[in-house]
Amino acid sequence: MKGMKASELFPSRYLKAVDIGKRGICCTIKDGEMAEMPDGQKKAILYFEEVGKGLVMNKTNTDTLADEYGDDMERWIGKRIELITVKVTVNGEQRDGIRVRVLEFDDDVPEAVAG
């Protein structure tokens, strides 16, 4: 089994923590869509200029981006983010998960701040 990796046996259209690795990936949001998951749930998927797979959005990542870029997900297109791996607890088990980190602030400066 020389050269074989267990993580490559079951390819996915969507990003997994193993795809990100320990260093993280900086990327630009290109597009998004709603997609039906194998369990029948519909979830938002984000796609990026620099990455071939989409990111299945969870509440934590959605809230992070919405807090910075607003509720209108169309405004997220073109924004730079970093995908990182963190330890998360799912059903009492620790595993690696993907989190988003904002790399830049929104270009829209409120009038009160702009002066």
pLDDT in tens, 40-83: 999 999 999 999 999 999 999 999 999 999 999 999 999 999 99
Q: Kindly report the average pLDDT of the chain as a whole number.
A: 88
Rounded CA-CA distance 98/43 in Å is 15
- The answer to whether residues 64 and 100 touch, using CB atoms and an 8 Å cutoff, is yes
Helices then strands, counting H and E runs in the chain, come out as: 3, 5
pLDDT at 113 over 70: no
- pLDDT tier, 114 (very low <50, low <70, confident <90, very high otherwise): very low
Q: What kind and span of H or E run contains 17?
A: helix 17-20
Checking if the pLDDT of 110 tops 70, the result is no
Give backbone dihedrals phi and psi of 100, rounded to 5 degrees, phi first.
-100, 145
Helix runs in 21-74, H state only: 59-69
Question: Is the Cα torsion angle 74, 78, 82, 85 positive or negative in sign?
Answer: positive
| For residues 93-102, average pLDDT | 95
End-to-end CA distance of the chain: 65
